[in-house]
Amino acid sequence: MVKGKLSERQRRMVEFIERFTVDSGYPPSIREIGKNVGISSTSVVNYNLNRLVDEGYLTRDKNVSRGIRMTKKLLKSVGRLSDVIRIRKVGRIFASEPVPMPSTDSPIFSTDEAIEISRDLLSTTEGLFALEVKGDSMIDAMVNDGDVVVMQREPEWRNGDMVAVWLKDKEETTLKHIYRQGRKVRLQPANPTMQPIIIDNPENLEIQGKVVLVVRQLN
């Protein structure tokens, strides 16, 4: 066998083991693997399991039923490593420019162009992108220089959502809570001591995304 390459069978095995383990809570037995991958002989399954061990995808414990341990390599290879979601950082956010939008949906390779957020903190995982706040211009949104804002590309909004809006006339981006008020729109700063802005003509607004999460790393 060529080092580092998986046969079709082995690939199927890896996939099955991962799926089975995730939704069973325990690893499959040799016979269960065989049955689902289409191998009648337990020894063959055993044989290929050992190959997978050689390749670093698994570790096994002798004489233990279901004694299969998935390695990080395996989890990574099936893209199921943990509950972390990687969100692409598409740039910085200024008051004086529209929000940069993700230019691509291609997978993220490098770590430093992404931020990892535990899925737990997110209600959606679709259409997300992250921006780093530059400058002090967003302090009325309680967002400071260096903070990371996770946004969702989503034209729909509901009362109270915090959104990034581009004010066409002022040529300014701001983060505000947004409310319908009759045919007008009210933009409310997160800082309760500050005054809202009433937009008479909603045409003047361009909603660039919903703010889903703000993260401030202090060190």
Partner DNA sequence: CTTGACATAGAACGAATGTTCCGATAGAAT
Partner DNA sequence: ATTCTATCGGAACATTCGTTCTATGTCAAG
CA 72-73-79 angle, to 5 degrees, is: 85
Looking at residue 176, its amino acid is K
Q: Which stretch binds DNA (CB under 7 A): 32-40, 97-105, 196-204, 205-213?
A: 32-40
Assess 7 for contact with DNA (CB under 7 A): yes
Specify the residue, 13 or 148, whose C-beta has the smaller distance to DNA.
13
**Among 87, 113, 114, 92, CA closest to 164:** 92
The site partner of 36 among DNA, its own copies, none (C-beta below 5 to 8 Å per kind) is none
Q: Is 24 in the site for DNA (CB under 7 A)?
A: no
Query: For residues 57 and 157, which CB has a smaller minimum distance to DNA in the complex?
Result: 57
Rounded to whole angstroms, how far apart are CA atoms 53 and 30? 14
- Regarding 30 and contact with DNA (CB under 7 A), the answer is yes
- From 169, 94, 193, 100, select the one nearest 134 (Cα to Cα): 94
46 binds, among its own copies, DNA, none (CB under 5 to 8 A by kind): DNA
48 binds, among its own copies, DNA, none (CB under 5 to 8 A by kind): DNA
Given the complex with its own copies, which of 37 and 178 has the nearer CB atom? Answer: 178
* Residue matched to tokens 């162009």: 113
Given the DSSP bridges, would you call strands 172-181 and 184-188 parallel, antiparallel or unpaired?
A: antiparallel
Q: Which of residues 108-147 bind its own copies (CB under 8 A)?
A: 115-118, 120-121, 123, 136, 139, 142-144
Q: Select from 38-46, 89-97, 99-107, 205-213 the region that touches its own copies (CB under 8 A).
A: 205-213
Radius of gyration of the chain (CA): 25
87, 130 in Cβ contact below 8 A? Answer: yes
Residue 176 annotated in active site: yes
**162 contributes a contact to its own copies by CB under 8 A:** yes
Give 147-170 as a DSSP string.
-EEEEE--S---TT-EEEEEETTT
